[in-house]
Copies of this chain bind each other. A is one copy, B any other.
Amino acid sequence: MDEIVSPVAVVDEDKCRRNIRHMVTKAKKAHVAFRPHFKTHQSIAIGKWFREAGTEKIAVSSVIMAEYFATDNWQDIMIAFPVNIREISKINELASRIRIGILIADSHIVESLVQKLTAALDFYIKIDVGSHRTGFSPDVMVPIENTLNQAKANGNLRFKGFVAHAGHTYQTRSLNDVQKIFKEGAGALAKLTNYFRKDYPEIIASWGDTPSCSLMNEFPGIDEIRPGNFVFYDLMQYHLASCDWNHIAMVVAAPVVARHPERNEIVLYGGAVHLSKDFIDLDDEQLIYGECVKFTERGWERFSKPVYVKRLSQEHGIVACPEEYFDDFCPGSLIGVVPVHSCLAADLIGRYYEITEGKFLEA
């Protein structure tokens, strides 16, 4: 790993592929379509691992990401974010070449869409199943009906179904809580979809979020799942019990730059611009920004007691390190940090080193 001189996202290809295979198999068994969310890795190289596992359709969270993956011949892309009408030229251009899906989260956007859309695409209505980030209520039909009626004014707008993201599973602390959120949210989504099937027989109910897709094995009433984070998992998912430690497939490699034995602290080149400022509030009110691991010949291993990154500034990460591990943190050596939120860390770093083969990924 001498080639790694500054922070980089280190992935274990075998673990990623295993995570992908596992989710592909689960979707097949549960008879739901699989549209993985590529906002987590944002990498054409890692996208190919999905393609090799049979994936044909994907979700992304911005038009920019859709443009990026279209360059690698992805032909069916849902932009799983409330449509931003300021980007309509790019959307028209993409939709003229490949199958594009957009989300409508607010009926006020439909008038502009009807006016400005020049190429056929799929649209979905975003439903708020309880995270209260955005979307229509599943319990009030009139605004949805009005939106669908307005959309008929432009034949390019093909209604494809309802989309939900149960972001509130990230606040749970047990499998029971996740099951409850799934049951309520997916139940409401399925009921709504069935109601509108009388007029639109082909529509689907599409469901996101890694905790519920990881913890549930059946998805009654759901036609498609869109998890993203599961390709890497991270410390947050581990603490939510969405994954085992061995499913974590990405760590940030950070050079050790200084040691402070007088206060048992290590300084890493690896800060907020690499890990993001996302944290976990442990039960004892200790905030942590990542957990350190030791690199082995072709992977990494946990310390016998957890070693946490406890403060971050722009480029520095400060590790609280028990005395017995000090020798594992020599200045000039590399330490792995399991990020709290792999999506944000991957977005920040933007390049990958594959540890089994020992090489940088191309894109």
Contacts and interface: CB of A to CB of B under 8 A. Distances in A.
B39 A255 contact: no
A332 to B, nearest CB: 4
Interface string A311-323: 1011110100000
B86 A315 contact: no
- SS of A interface (majority): mixed
A39 B272 CA distance: 13
Contacts of A278: 272, 277
A85 B86 CA distance: 46
A137 B260 CA distance: 10
Contact of A259 (B87, B106, B277, B313): B106
Interface string A81-103: 11111110110000000000000
A6 to B, nearest CB: 6
Interface size band for A: 35 or more
Nearest to A39: B314
Interface in A239-259: 255, 257-259
A84 B311 CA distance: 19
A114 interface: no
| Most chain B beta carbons < 10 A, residue from A6, A255, A258, A278 | A258
B6 A64 contact: yes
Copies per complex of this chain: 2
Contacts of A132: 263, 265
Contacts of A273: 344, 347-348
A153 interface: no
Interface in A296-338: 311, 313-316, 318, 330-332, 334
Interface of A: 4-6, 39, 61-64, 81-87, 89-90, 105-106, 108-109, 112, 132-134, 137, 167, 255, 257-260, 262-263, 265, 267, 269, 272-273, 276-278, 311, 313-316, 318, 330-332, 334, 343-344, 347-348
